[in-house]
Amino acid sequence: MAEYWNSLLTEKSWGILQGIAKIPKEKFSFIVIGGWAAYLWTKLHKSKDVDVALAAIGDLRYLKEHYALKKNDRLKNYEISFEEIDLDIYVPYFSRLPIPVEDLKGLSTKVEGFSVVKPEALLVLKQGAELDRKGSVKGIKDQVDIMTILCRCQVDFRDYHSLLKKYKLEHFYPRLVSIIKNFKEFEYLGLTPGEFKVRKSIVLGMLKFA
């Protein structure tokens, strides 16, 4: 199965994530979202960039003191560049994600020592990214991550639908169905055509009747 990103880039990105995880929690506490969250749940596709959500906006102080932190008013986040790798930081009451950053702490759990957003919330966040980047290379990678989550995680679809209702994102559901029905790159899921057909049918049924 082909890797989506160059292995040298993903290993450097993984090193950055591991590095910031060593910062004392009282100075900098974060939740992994984005591609690395999908990897930590599925162990299938590594990520090029690192996306994290801060538990508290005050943690920006440590980053400002130790890194070249930039504020991106257009994307409503903060960024640190490590040459070709970007660390994107989403903060409470400023960043615009489908699920507010301040709510993500209650929708996360520990995976391999990292605080990681749960699959249902990650699916919603990934859909938001896919809609924003539809048609781009990163948008296609978002679809791969979405399908990987659906095929490789235990997703509680009742919780997924509850999140859509709570945050007025009901339009995400038909978009998700469309992604599932039209997805062709089953090799990225580590499945044969027959296995993918069966899994797709199961997921669509569970989504519909959750």
**Residue 108 domain flag:** yes
Domain tally for the chain?
1
CATH of residue 176: 3.30.460
Is the residue at 80 inside a domain?
yes
Residue 1 lies in a domain: no
pLDDT in tens, the chain (210 residues): 456 667 888 999 999 999 999 999 889 999 999 999 999 999 988 888 999 999 888 889 999 999 999 999 999 999 999 988 999 999 999 999 999 999 999 999 999 999 999 999 999 999 999 999 888 888 888 999 999 999 999 999 999 999 999 999 999 999 999 999 999 988 888 889 999 999 999 999 999 887
Q: 204 in a domain, yes or no?
A: yes
Domain, as residue range, for 76 = 7-209
Task: Give a yes or no: residue 12 inside a domain.
Answer: yes
Residue 38 lies in a domain: yes
Residue 197 lies in a domain: yes
- Would you say residue 58 lies in a domain? yes
Query: Tokens representing 170?
Result: 């009901």
